[in-house]
Structure 1
């Protein structure tokens, strides 16, 4: 199924879900896989709980309300990016070693006084959480606020390719996730992928000029 066709089904649905325990009536269930689980096995259950359709990637499961794709996770991500492009609203992205969620909540609390905002729920800030955040935005959303987490190179860059943020802020560069990034220099490079994405698309960066690392972005 083409993303455009799946998007039409999404617009007619009540939203998306990846957890059979949180199914909304009329929603689309995405049967994700992990190291210790395979939600294809629960697609039928999702329909029984009210899902309109289930997106799966294993042919052995059959139901007229199943949509078979090559990879469920990639389909979720592609759908989120497609939806983001249709929204045409400003999106603020933030990352950093510490303080992401608190900063996101503060930004949301401030902007929601004037605008209809949709922000990352909790700390759902990874390759699954960011798409889910984008897909939770509706035609009523005026500003989107997306938290991005990472512990390896290229993860923030990938999330930016999905969310296409217009504004970005990095809270700080710390020693969190040193194992994944390899060094503090790796942390700086990885988190700065947000700024790299914004600059490449001529978007807006918010800089903490008290931070010498961030001041370098001015050069």
Structure 2
């Protein structure tokens, strides 16, 4: 009787294994999910405010974070400086808490820079943007070459998938350069306008 139960269980689970579990394993489902989370975190670096303490990291809520008794989530610095605040888990809430402080500090720093220093900062950000655009352009070529030379398909897909994160980083530094150039610091909706007007495209200026 026990053998019969085990046999039924095997028959019942076989379709799931063949048509769901095994294909997901073959196509690297876990890797895809992990890469998706990584891309989501990278997008947050574009939208979320910078840490007002170290100015190197951005404020984010860890995916495993739990709310406190007031339903507020811990926002921490991605740079690991230790700064953090509790607020609701949405862009509007964290912006309302930090943007007044960041804007005041950022404008003071920008106003304290000479024209030469601002130009140097713009060039530095633009240079980083162009480097990442080059990496983004190389990924499809490397993936195509790998495919042509007989590499495993999953390897080629992994290489090709790096185009997106490199593009995100390129847009990020292009946006930072535009912010310094125009003095548009932490203005609500500025990034959306930056993207809509195509200012993220190399060589396109306002």
Give the alignment's TM-score, normalised by structure 1: 0.23
> Is the strand fraction higher in 1 or 2?
1
> Is the helix fraction higher in 1 or 2?
2
